Structure formats: structure tokens, C-alpha cells
């Protein structure tokens, strides 16, 4: 039980810390002259990644999330988010790239990590989509 309490404390710390990053991201998006709807979508997607996914198994800092995007888009997002679709995988990947671009430009993530994340998403997008299709087919077959 002690481990779980420590986990909860670390998740709470991370979530509080992430509020600062999300505010920076919102300001950065506003400067991009995007619509409020688009800004909200990017913020919601980034928050899902840094607050929910990065804290799901253990409390993981935003900076370490650059190395975890593959498992998020290829598995967790598909299984845990009932609204996932081919389009939402692409949109979420784009939001995560924008979020980390902002973090890179503001000095929170270095160039190598940001470039790694971008390559990871770009080079594996077709695989993420294939995983989604496979998961949907398995789910559909189980219903019958």
C-alpha cells in the first residue's frame, strides 16, 4: 500500500507540474493564430498524453515522454480511448509533435529528443494505423 501512496503523490506532482507546460503550450498555440477549437483539440490531446498516459503505469515526467510515444500511439491510445480512429491517431500524433515543438522552443526538451519524437511518429504512422485496424477487426470478431 505504501508504494501506491507514493505513486499517487508522484502523479499529483506531475499533474501540477504539467499545468505549467500546458499553459505555455496554450500561449504558444494562440500565437500561431489557430482557431479556439483547434487549440482546444491540441491541448486536450497533449493533456491526455502527459497527464493520463505518462502517469498511467508510473509517474513519468513530460521530458521523458519523448521516448514513449510509440507505445502510446501503437497500443494504449487504441485500447484505452474508445473514440480512437484513424483520424484521431493522426490528430493526436500531430498534437503531440506540436506540444513537444513548443517544449523544445522553450528549452524544456532538447533538439535530439524532439527530433527523435518527430521521426518516431512520422516513420511509424502507417504501423499505428495498421494496429488500429487490427484491433478493430479483433474487437468486431469478438462481438460475433
Q: Encode pLDDT of 27-39 as tens digits.
A: 999 999 999 999 9
Model pLDDT, residue 100: 98
**Cβ pair 93, 44 in contact under 8 A:** no
5 confidence band (pLDDT: 50, 70, 90): very high
Residue 52 to residue 46: CA distance in whole angstroms: 10
Copy the grid coordinates of residue 12.
Answer: 499529483
Give the number of domains in the chain: 1
70 confidence band (pLDDT: 50, 70, 90): very high
Q: Supply the range of the domain harboring residue 15.
A: 2-143
Q: What is the pTM of this model?
A: 0.93
Q: Encode pLDDT of 97-117 as tens digits.
A: 999 999 999 999 999 999 999
Amino acid at each position: 500500500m505504501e508504494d501506491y501512496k507514493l505513486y499517487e503523490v508522484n502523479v499529483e506532482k506531475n499533474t501540477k507540474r504539467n499545468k505549467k507546460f500546458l499553459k505555455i503550450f496554450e500561449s504558444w498555440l494562440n500565437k500561431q493564430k489557430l482557431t479556439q477549437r483547434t487549440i482546444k483539440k491540441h491541448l486536450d490531446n497533449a493533456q491526455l498524453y502527459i497527464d493520463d498516459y505518462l502517469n498511467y503505469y508510473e509517474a513519468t515526467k513530460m521530458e521523458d515522454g519523448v521516448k514513449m510515444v510509440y507505445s502510446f500511439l501503437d497500443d494504449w491510445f487504441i485500447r484505452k480511448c474508445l473514440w480512437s480512429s484513424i483520424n484521431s491517431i493522426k490528430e493526436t500524433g500531430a498534437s503531440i509533435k506540436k506540444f513537444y515543438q513548443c517544449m523544445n522552443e522553450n528549452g524544456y526538451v532538447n533538439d535530439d529528443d524532439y527530433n527523435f519524437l518527430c521521426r518516431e511518429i512520422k516513420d511509424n504512422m502507417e504501423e499505428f494505423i495498421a494496429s488500429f485496424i487490427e484491433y478493430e477487426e479483433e474487437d468486431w470478431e469478438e462481438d460475433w
